[in-house]
């Protein structure tokens, strides 16, 4: 029997994770993280989500705590999110939350409190290989979350469990229904937890940084339009460029915040053979050679080669990756590392 701390978001996946750990005979404690004090829809940490998590813990007859990581969340997730937009990058706050809050602050506290294992409701698997523990895609391909967990090293994995990683989402819901858990039919959380649907990203950011209008130019540098907030433009974006005429086929291919300039071009102009990367994390050691690469949370993987300088070279040219996005490398189902596009 291990002493297990289950991070319970209030959703069905973590509820079932707690139920499974209990069923396996472990000494299970639930914890919900209070991360964001501002307005929010359902996400990871609203008061109603805490209520749901607590109720599930009561149903499972396990202890439940709420840890306040509001300041850490501001410092490591919200602040950098705003800063990244100011620099024209496209950040992924869920990854930063995993990196700094769930799998750093929380895991380190769990160790101090004498827990042997931290379990979460992520759809991913931890697999024993000849070379040690590896993170693998979740069994349910449509729900796989290994992309947002790429920062976990083999050493990190030794203290983690993802109990629903071997299940499909419908199996998870069925189990929750059988046990009568409150969150059995709760919809999956969507989008960034600290941005509400009613206010939106633009309003959230405009409250926290100055947004600037920018010129839209074509590849030759001819001015073809303007846009309200250059900080909100993502490479590959088509909507909102307000170009009229043929705008359906015009994409942002380059965003230059300091010069207040967005370069627009065709789908062809958006193609690139390489992705420049920084801030690599490897599950144990750097890798060179053929890999499968995923560039967004719900995107497909594509074949590429990792170069000796740590960049991605696509087998077939693909759309540019927005700077700031996570790029994750796989061999078969196994995550071997990841990095941030520059």
Catalytic residues: 97, 193
Contact 181, 19 (CB under 8 A): yes
Q: What is the DSSP secondary structure assignment for residue 258, as one 8-state letter?
A: T
The correct pick among 7, 18, 21, 45 for binding another protein (CB under 8 A) is 45
Counting contacts by CB under 8 A, is residue 27 touching another protein? yes
- From the list 6, 7, 16, 50, which residue makes contact with another protein (rule: CB under 8 A)? 50
Of 23, 55, 59, 65, the one binding another protein (CB under 8 A) is: 65
State which of residues 2, 41, 66, 212 lies at the interface with another protein (CB under 8 A): 66
User: Between residues 29 and 90, which has the closer beta carbon with respect to another protein?
Assistant: 29
Longest dimension (CA), the chain: 68
3-class secondary-structure state, position 267: coil
Does residue 227 bind another protein (CB under 8 A)? no
Nearest distance from C-beta of residue 108 to another protein, angstroms: 7
Closer residue to another protein (CB): 27 or 199: 27
Stretch that binds another protein, among 61-69, 154-162, 237-245, 308-316 (CB under 8 A): 61-69
Which residues, 273 to 312, sit near another protein by CB under 8 A?
none
What the block records as the tokens of 20 is 């499974």
* Spatial contact of 135 and 335, defined as CB atoms under 8 Å apart: yes
The DSSP string of 5-57 is: EEE--SSHHHHHHHHHHHHTT-EEEEEEEE---S--SSSSS-HHHHHHHHHHH
How far apart are alpha carbons 227 and 261 in whole angstroms? 9
- 55 makes contact with another protein (CB under 8 A): no
Full DSSP string of 186-240:
PPPP-S-TTS-TTTHHHHHHHTTS----EEEE-TT--EEEEES-GGG--TT--TT
Q: Which of residues 105-164 bind another protein (CB under 8 A)?
A: 108-109, 111-114
Which residues of this chain interact with another protein, rule CB under 8 A?
3, 27, 29, 32, 34, 45, 47, 50, 54, 62-63, 65-68, 70-71, 108-109, 111-114
């Amino acid at each position: 029997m291990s002493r297990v701390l289950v991070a319970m978001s209030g959703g069905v996946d973590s509820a079932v994770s707690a139920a499974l750990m209990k069923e396996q005979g472990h000494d299970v404690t639930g914890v919900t993280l209070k991360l964001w004090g501002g307005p929010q829809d359902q996400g990871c940490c609203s008061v109603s989500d805490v209520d749901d998590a607590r109720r599930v813990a009561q149903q499972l007859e396990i202890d439940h705590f709420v840890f306040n990581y509001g300041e850490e969340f501001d410092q490591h997730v919200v602040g950098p999110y705003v800063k990244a937009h100011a620099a024209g990058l496209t950040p992924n706050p869920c990854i930063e939350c995993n990196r700094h809050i769930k799998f750093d602050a929380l895991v380190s506290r769990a160790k101090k409190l004498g827990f042997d294992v931290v379990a979460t409701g992520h759809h991913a698997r931890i697999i024993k290989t000849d070379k040690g523990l590896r993170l693998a895609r979740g069994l349910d391909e449509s729900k796989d979350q290994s992309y947002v967990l790429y920062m976990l090293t083999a050493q990190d994995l030794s203290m983690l469990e993802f109990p629903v990683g071997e299940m499909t989402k419908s199996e998870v819901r069925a189990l929750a229904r059988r046990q009568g858990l409150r969150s059995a039919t709760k919809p999956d959380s969507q989008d960034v937890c600290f941005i509400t649907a009613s206010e939106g990203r633009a309003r959230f950011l405009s409250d926290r940084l100055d947004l600037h209008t920018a010129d839209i130019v074509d590849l030759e540098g001819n001015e073809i339009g303007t846009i309200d907030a250059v900080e909100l433009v993502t490479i590959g974006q088509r909507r909102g460029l307000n170009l009229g005429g043929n705008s359906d086929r015009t994409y942002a291919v380059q965003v230059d915040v300091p010069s207040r300039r967005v370069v627009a071009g065709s789908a062809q102009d958006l193609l690139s053979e390489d992705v420049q990367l920084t801030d690599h994390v490897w599950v144990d050691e750097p890798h060179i050679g053929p890999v499968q690469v995923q560039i967004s949370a719900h995107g497909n993987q594509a074949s590429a080669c990792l170069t000796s300088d740590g960049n991605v070279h696509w087998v077939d040219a693909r759309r540019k990756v927005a700077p700031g996005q996570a790029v994750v490398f796989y061999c078969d189902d196994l995550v071997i590392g990841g990095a941030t596009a520059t």
